[in-house]
Amino acid sequence: MDKALDSVLVWLRRDLRLDDNAALHRGLTIGRRVWCVFVFDTDILDPLPRRDRRVEFIRDSLAEVDAGLADLGSAGGVRLLVRHGRAVEQITSLAEALGVDAVVASHDDEPAALARDEAVREALRRQGRAFHTVKDHVVFERSELLTQAGAPYGVFTPYKKAWLAKVDDFYLKAYPIARHAAALAPPPAGIEAGVPELAEIGFEATNLQQLQLPSGASGAATLLDQFLQRIDDYDEQRNYPGRRGTSYLSVHLRFGTVSIRRLAREARTRAAAGSTGAASWLSELIWRDFYHQVLHHHPHVVDASFRPAYDRIAWESGALAESRFAAWCEGRTGYPLVDAAMAQINQTGYMHNRLRMVVASFLVKDLGIDWRWGERYFARQLNDYDLAANNGGWQWASSSGCDAQPWFRIFNPTAQSRKFDPDGRFIRRYLPQLAKLPDAALHEPAQAAPAVLAAAGIEIGRDYPAPIVDHAEARQHTLQRYAVVKGAG
């Protein structure tokens, strides 16, 4: 087919794969010569610690993209172009050096990303170049799903019903890449290519390799193959952090090393064949779309409650709140499931979804601390940090968000522990100091008989902290605190 443009630069961002990549497909189908670039954006990187698993994951995934481009390109020497600096400057200078007609990228609806993209668009316009963006990161985005009144959905269940009614093979089909790969071009002389080492961009290695978290599209494929062998049990196993019940694909979805269309296609096909586990997993993928459309239509949620009335809540502040927040961050609350969950996120950058709800509820409704404090901590720690999902989850837990849990629903951390880690497998893994306690005492060590504690070699206050709050008392304080939103929509 005839190509409309002589040359195109494809800017990879949240789509670090070659297979089923909407932006790459667009570039290859409109350009006679195509190059791919990734920018280590210093606006994003500079605030991060020098050891950050996400940066290492990205770097390793890019190495796989680089090798894949070399394999795909019919012309020898096809490589990934990688730049380090402010994205606006790097993209525009590279576009000028290559002399491209257009830059193509996938959509990114985070407010900061939209502002960045508008700056890039304007800078490219001044150069006489176009900037195109396409949907890739979700199945349905922005205003593709609206109510009959033409408004965005504010409740998940009708959104899910509309999602399932609209989705079909067209929306889940893969974008073919290999058949168009002849357009991939080697970099011209003088244009540097290849993926830098971590040290070259100012970062150091983390424990990512020891965690055995596979990166790149190949890593995502391995995890997906493993998960599909147990997906039928997902609805029964997903809430138990001590079991291998989830997909562990969240970081791959975040950075686009796997296509959301591929995952939704697998889930939909298996759900249609009667798998309740696949249907439950598909629902989780739909939640992800839901939170992205909430962010698109209501960008104020980045800094404020989705429901403004909830910003009237008076959160705890001062030295006591700060010390309790530090105890929560460091896993020193005296509630084993909460502390084990925080140890998990601190050591691995991952936290099981059930535990995200438990620790968020504890911070907000047991400690009375503003949900934004927890949201920011998760943003620093999570390998799979995604603004839309993280914000949606924290606002759900604090009852301030779109279709959130009722404000008067307050998780009991001990009851959650007994229900979802009954044999203490998860707690013992991350709190080895409690490993010798019998199951009956493990979930509430401070209430164990002295002889039981002594037999396990534990002294409360020395080997494990006493609870920093009494849950029953904290619950009453929370009901009083939230009274200001009674009747609020």
Catalytic residue chosen out of the listed positions 96, 141, 353, 412? 353
Q: What is the DSSP string of 178-195?
A: GGGGGGB-PPPTT---SP
Look at the alpha carbons of 364, 342, 456, 420 in this order and tell me if their dihedral is positive or negative.
positive
Catalytic residue chosen out of the listed positions 287, 328, 373, 407? 287
3-class DSSP assignment, residue 162: helix
CA distance 382 to 360: 14
CA distance 31 to 26: 8
- Does the annotation mark 287 as catalytic? yes
Long-range contacts of 206-213 (CB under 8 A, 24+ apart): 206/51, 206/52, 206/53, 206/56, 207/53, 207/347, 207/348, 208/53, 208/56, 208/57, 208/60, 211/53, 211/348, 211/349, 213/53, 213/57, 213/251, 213/350, 213/383
Strand order in the sheet with 5-12: 80-85, 31-41, 5-12, 102-106, 130-134
CA distance 447 to 453: 10
Structure letter (DSSP) for residue 363: I
Catalytic residue chosen out of the listed positions 315, 316, 346, 412? 315
Within 8 A by CB and 6+ apart from 168, the residues are none
Catalytic residue chosen out of the listed positions 284, 316, 346, 444? 284
- Does the annotation mark 163 as catalytic? no
Give burial (CB, 10 Å; 0-12/13-18/19+) of 455.
Answer: middle
Catalytic residue chosen out of the listed positions 35, 281, 371, 396? 371
| Beta-carbon-side half-sphere exposure of residue 61 (alpha carbons within 13 Å) | 32
- Does the annotation mark 35 as catalytic? no
CA distance 195 to 61: 10
Decide if 152 contacts 79 (C-beta within 8 A). Answer: no
Element housing 132 (H / E)? strand 130-134
3-class DSSP assignment, residue 174: coil
- Does the annotation mark 371 as catalytic? yes
Element housing 472 (H / E)? helix 471-481
> What are the catalytic residues?
284, 287, 315, 353, 371, 394
